[in-house]
Structure 1
């Protein structure tokens, strides 16, 4: 079948039907053989699909119903009506095929984003190799304008990378040495040497393609229900049609010609074509819409489930917050100016690897001050670090590491300056605490707006955090979450999700996909953040390729809109079937009008479903 073969066949069938009608009007003859040709050409794809599906599933389907109706119309010498039925049915089928292709193309186009070859560098010599031949540790060159062929780490060069195909973020990202790059993204303006970190089949890109293929095969609950309903309904329609072939003649005194004609019309108008088409175009369009925005959905079942979620639980670190502490306040009682004080502390912390220390170094480097040399640095894991700068010894760390009396004296003296809900790092020197750094994991800019949107949809938001009550309360005030569960260790999150499920029914979990994977699996819908790491892709039902909580609100909006469109389609389809059946029993409609009403409603529900493709 050519790309547009189904549509071309339908149009040829329509042309032959029109030709037969015009010649008949001009000559008064019945050009049945032209209509027969219209039957064969116009109905080829639909009837063939119906026969193959019936053989495979051993169940009758709407395609066979339409074929039987058309043959029945021909049998009572209503060739033109049967040909019109075949044409409109084939046209709606071609439109449905188009809608499937249209809605899946936005995500299946990912397959074209990864290059087939890469520039492998060996002993400063380049050679073109297949991407599938690359192994971790290989060095590849990526020139400006080229797509990244494999996941890797930059070892030489600097560039901006367009990651829109992976994250949905339209603004290019600056990448330097030691930064990671993803297969399928575009190197805009730099000449890079990259060390490959994953084989082609293990790359994030490949996992996304697998995820998309899975999503295309997954069916939403409403779609599964309609498919089960269709099998029963088709048998009911056949039964009603068989009764109508005889009963009206004996009960209402209709002629045999009218009785058989009305039975054929009933077969047409009672067929569930519009009902069958009410879900799939909307579901696939919604999945495609999400993929364009960096929201990867593992099937319509999860998107449909999201619409019924009553509460969303959020991991704090890396989800509601950036996951990296930042210095917000510096208390300096050292006698030195602030720049000298922070430089001395940062010089010592620069020799350690604790995240709090890194935050102090980053804070100091923003001032542009050069760090002095630190000597005799010793790290005390879990507590802090000591070292010497310009002959003066410093101890930097938690209160537990320092002299308790000195810490308490400092706190009492500066109690009005110490911010609440912060992590404190104290600095001790020459027998006393001479300063402190207040650090806090900063809330993401998108968190507050996303939480507001979720509340607008009536969804309760619960923060799960290992922090104490005081810190958790401060984050709650800043983000606006409905409630929080403090002192919650990763291993306890699953139990908390179970408790929330008992309280709310359907509960979603949002996490970074690493420590949160058990909770993501336990929730009704698991939503993973963090740029799509392996744990997230394997565990979550929905993956947000960018750490942007607003995408969660977008997912909920997408889910509710999809469900609303599906419900409208179903109600409209059933209403039209009921209306047309009643009109046929009252002999108000002819076969052509029944065909237009029935197949027109099918086309309308398909077009309504395709609205989900819009941004």
Structure 2
């Protein structure tokens, strides 16, 4: 459901007599609109190859390849922890084996001026290299196969091209043909690439569990009332439309339905992000996953399985995430072009030298080109920046969950904000105190403060907070009563003090300043009236307080030329008032959850890059649909799990840090990839033999030295990343 509770009262005051009903703007019937959607049946392919190999994508994709969200042995986070350990183990094993390979390498012997020869030395280095190739290289080979199947060449294919070429050619030179082996390059390349991927995975751990979190919200059992009136425990899956269920005090409502008996307040905050409990009675709809309050409810099941509200949200989130998962990171794009360059130059090199009749030299030159095309620096160019930027993000209160989405934050054209709990605090506060003639502002607020201390309603909390902030005294309260449909009433100093809504005032024919009330109501504020022995003492207006940081962030985003949009379930008057106060570019009001994701789609039209920031389950589909989904840290688990970035400190101002850090990270990645590619610009032509006629040709030894230098430069450059 949309956040239609807060500030909604002015829209519907006449129907809501008691001020504690101020937010009961029902929209549950609109859930019927979800019926056209099919339930997500977890049909995605569970692609182990992708998960094991393609870290540049899996680490940031919200684990979209997982199909079975309910039974995957520990869930996504457990799987990613296992993957992290797997890369770590492969790295250490490969590193240990790379030491003797390097020591026995003819290139290293030549470079450092020593010589080791013994019977079987070639066989030993071959066997050690074979283990490194198949054990250490397995993730890259699997990842490359998936890139080929998906027709998205990237880092995995480039690495695999280099290691397969090195291994096959070195095996040939070891036993069948003349030429230099590349076992050293093979081992060190695999070790460096495993290290880079391990660093990157470790820095962006936290795979999304959005769908798991949604599924966990639902109770597994229900109290069904059978034809004889007996209560029997049944599985929720066994319920059918028309069944009657009993929901006791404090229990979760197990499934969507219509209340046929009982009155209660229902906490729908887990579903909507709305902090205000909704009063429910016969004829009203109940949503599965909401928490029942003090009353006992009998509910007639209306929707099951695929048709329930939560099932629709699951499908919307799933569909949006699957679409987003097709994106490629910056490093993958760079690797894709290096792969194409390597293939083209390698073929040209082989063809050219083949015409000279020196077939072994032609093969050696092509192999050198293909291996050099994947420099060691490329394996660390982005992981080191990722690790550094993730560390900076953590210090700034940002949890990066989807690396690719974060990388694109510098391109944002529009940022869509939810209202309640995001731009506003999500709590009512006193905005206006209007005492009647002869009554002081302090006395009016003191009376209301004293009575409202007996209630735990959000409006009461707002008035109590105002009383405490002003250090007002507390009168002794007797005979407190919460009378449904009438308001609050209590005795103070032998006088009857009542706090009522506009509807109760009109019902009791008590006159009040309609102009002042209308002015406050037009601003989307909730207005309550304080009576003393049925004589009006004044009115108090409350509203969901706009965060102080919201003013700053909206101004700065507008100054940067980024459009600011607010999308909320509240009515237009409330939304437009907040929009005017903050200076927003656009306001979209009275929006339901499925409409939020549709609106994000519309805002993305024309190639616009859109970010969405929210905190409720109703925001989850929109967060998944947006190019960058941002969750408020104090929001619901589902919103957090669906988001690409989480604002740990729950402050919208941190969005500015996301944009700054994204720009700075991209700049460093370009610089590092520039160093890696710059090495290639020089090394690949030399490896191809363009200066062979003047005696200049790159040897494996020279290549190793320059490659190491390039890697060191990338490491130092990454550590220089910072933001203001």
Instruction: State the TM-score bracket (shorter-chain normalisation).
Output: 0.5 to 0.7
Q: CA 1:424–1:55 in 2, change beyond 3 Å: closer, same or farther?
A: closer
Residue of structure 1 equivalent to 2:412: 309
Distance 2:391 2:501 in 1: 50
Q: CA 1:454–1:40 in 2, change beyond 3 Å: closer, same or farther?
A: farther
The answer (yes or no) to whether the contact 2:553–2:652 under 8 Å persists in 1 is yes
Structure 2 residue 112 is matched with structure 1 residue 20: no
Distance 1:461 1:484 in 2: 9
Structure 2 residue 425 is matched with structure 1 residue 318: no
Question: Equivalent residues in 2 for 1:213-612 (5 A)?
Answer: 221-222=328-329, 225=333, 236=344, 239-247=347-355, 249=356, 262-263=365-366, 265-271=368-374, 278-279=381-382, 282-283=385-386, 286=389, 290=393, 294-333=397-436, 335=438, 338-366=441-469, 367=471, 369-375=473-479, 377-380=481-484, 384-403=487-506, 406-408=511-513, 411=516, 422-429=525-532, 432-455=535-558, 458-466=561-569, 471-476=574-579, 478-488=581-591, 492-502=595-605, 505-531=608-634, 533-583=636-686, 584-587=689-692, 588-591=696-699, 592-598=701-707, 600-601=709-710, 604-605=713-714
The answer (yes or no) to whether the contact 1:462–1:482 under 8 Å persists in 2 is yes
Distance 1:69 1:596 in 2: 21
Distance 1:491 1:397 in 2: 35
Q: CA 1:612–1:45 in 2, change beyond 3 Å: closer, same or farther?
A: farther
The answer (yes or no) to whether the contact 2:163–2:189 under 8 Å persists in 1 is no
Distance 1:3 1:72 in 2: 26
- The structure 1 residue matched to 2:164, chosen from 37, 57, 64, is 64
Distance 1:256 1:102 in 2: 41
What whole-Å deviation, never above 9, does each CA across 1:97-126 have from its counterpart, x for those lacking one? 33443444456699xxxxxxxxxxxxxxxx
SS at structure 2 position matched to 1:440: strand
Alignment gaps of 5+ in structure 2: 1-88, 146-156, 208-320
The answer (yes or no) to whether the contact 1:466–1:486 under 8 Å persists in 2 is yes
Distance 1:94 1:385 in 2: 71
Distance 2:346 2:427 in 1: 65
Distance 1:573 1:482 in 2: 42
The answer (yes or no) to whether the contact 2:162–2:373 under 8 Å persists in 1 is no
The answer (yes or no) to whether the contact 1:402–1:428 under 8 Å persists in 2 is no
Q: CA 1:13–1:614 in 2, change beyond 3 Å: closer, same or farther?
A: farther
Q: CA 1:346–1:268 in 2, change beyond 3 Å: closer, same or farther?
A: closer
Q: Per-residue deviation at 1:528?
A: 1.9
What whole-Å deviation, never above 9, does each CA across 1:144-174 have from its counterpart, x for those lacking one? xxxxxxxxxxxxxxxxxxxxxxxxxxxxxxx
SS at structure 2 position matched to 1:313: strand
Q: Per-residue deviation at 1:606?
A: 6.2
Q: Per-residue deviation at 1:219?
A: 8.8
Distance 1:426 1:371 in 2: 18
Distance 1:427 1:560 in 2: 54
Q: CA 1:372–1:102 in 2, change beyond 3 Å: closer, same or farther?
A: same
The answer (yes or no) to whether the contact 2:522–2:573 under 8 Å persists in 1 is no
The answer (yes or no) to whether the contact 1:295–1:544 under 8 Å persists in 2 is yes
Distance 1:372 1:2 in 2: 71
Q: CA 1:90–1:306 in 2, change beyond 3 Å: closer, same or farther?
A: same
Q: TM-score, normalised by structure 1?
A: 0.65
Question: Equivalent residues in 2 for 1:36-115 (5 A)?
Answer: 36=122, 43=129, 46-49=132-135, 52=138, 61-68=161-168, 86-87=183-184, 90-91=187-188, 93-105=190-202
Q: Per-residue deviation at 1:324?
A: 0.6
Aligned length: 495
Distance 2:132 2:555 in 1: 48
Q: Per-residue deviation at 1:293?
A: 5.1
Distance 1:503 1:51 in 2: 42
The RMSD of aligned alpha carbons is 4.7
Q: Per-residue deviation at 1:319?
A: 0.4
Distance 1:277 1:437 in 2: 61
SS at structure 1 position matched to 2:697: coil
Residue of structure 1 equivalent to 2:153: none
Query: Which structure is higher in RCO with an 8 Å CA cutoff and minimum separation 6?
Result: 2
The answer (yes or no) to whether the contact 1:282–1:611 under 8 Å persists in 2 is no
Q: CA 1:52–1:496 in 2, change beyond 3 Å: closer, same or farther?
A: closer
SS at structure 1 position matched to 2:416: strand
Q: CA 1:356–1:463 in 2, change beyond 3 Å: closer, same or farther?
A: same
What whole-Å deviation, never above 9, does each CA across 1:361-384 have from its counterpart, x for those lacking one? 222234152332143634445x84
Distance 1:348 1:370 in 2: 9
Q: TM-score, normalised by structure 2?
A: 0.56
What whole-Å deviation, never above 9, does each CA across 1:333-377 have from its counterpart, x for those lacking one? 364555443232223333444322221122223415233214363
Distance 2:723 2:521 in 1: 50
What whole-Å deviation, never above 9, does each CA across 1:314-344 have from its counterpart, x for those lacking one? 1111001111111244333364555443232
Q: CA 1:34–1:483 in 2, change beyond 3 Å: closer, same or farther?
A: farther
Distance 1:70 1:265 in 2: 11
Question: Equivalent residues in 2 for 1:153-164 (5 A)?
Answer: none
SS at structure 2 position matched to 1:516: helix
Residue of structure 1 equivalent to 2:84: none
Alignment gaps of 5+ in structure 1: 111-213
Q: Per-residue deviation at 1:512?
A: 1.1
The answer (yes or no) to whether the contact 2:166–2:367 under 8 Å persists in 1 is no
What whole-Å deviation, never above 9, does each CA across 1:200-221 have from its counterpart, x for those lacking one? xxxxxxxxxxxxxx9xxx8961
SS at structure 2 position matched to 1:546: coil
Q: CA 1:14–1:494 in 2, change beyond 3 Å: closer, same or farther?
A: closer
What whole-Å deviation, never above 9, does each CA across 1:435-464 have from its counterpart, x for those lacking one? 222323222243334334544654321122
